[in-house]
């Protein structure tokens, strides 16, 4: 079962009339932390595990987990702010 953060991001995504929100948020995240954005892309769009995503990016699974946690929280707050404005 997906984590509450993933469910929240998906819910926000479903509230949007198109896919622009996720693309814009990912672009902003990439400017803030490019590796975290890459982790999101590898996890969300290709379905890789954290271990696999870390391997692709040349980082440990622990680092991939930290990046994933940061990215989830960052995207949640960014997309929430975008919807509320």
Model confidence pLDDT, tens digit, residues 30-71? 999 999 999 999 998 888 999 999 999 999 999 999 999 999
Q: Establish if 60 belongs to a structural domain.
A: yes
65: CATH: 1.10.10.10
Q: What is the DSSP letter of 85?
A: -
Burial class (CB in 10 A: 0-12, 13-18, 19+), 53: buried
The angle, 0 to 180 degrees and rounded to 10, between the axes of the packed helices 61-84 and 4-15 is 40
Q: Show the domain range for 15.
A: 9-84
Q: What is the DSSP letter of 19?
A: T
Q: Establish if 23 belongs to a structural domain.
A: yes
Question: pTM of the predicted model, to two decimals?
Answer: 0.76
Check residues 22 and 10 and name the one with the higher pLDDT: 22
Q: Establish if 2 belongs to a structural domain.
A: no
The pLDDT assigned to 50 comes to: 95
Residue 17: count other Cβ atoms within 10 Å of its Cβ: 6
């Amino acid at each position: 079962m997906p984590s509450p953060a993933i469910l929240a991001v998906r819910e926000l995504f479903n509230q949007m009339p198109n896919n622009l929100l996720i693309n814009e948020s990912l672009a902003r995240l990439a400017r803030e932390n490019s590796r975290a954005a890459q982790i999101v892309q590898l996890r969300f769009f290709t379905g890789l595990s954290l271990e696999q995503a870390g391997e692709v990016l040349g980082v440990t699974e622990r680092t991939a987990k930290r990046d994933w946690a940061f990215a989830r929280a960052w995207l949640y707050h960014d997309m929430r702010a975008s919807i509320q404005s």
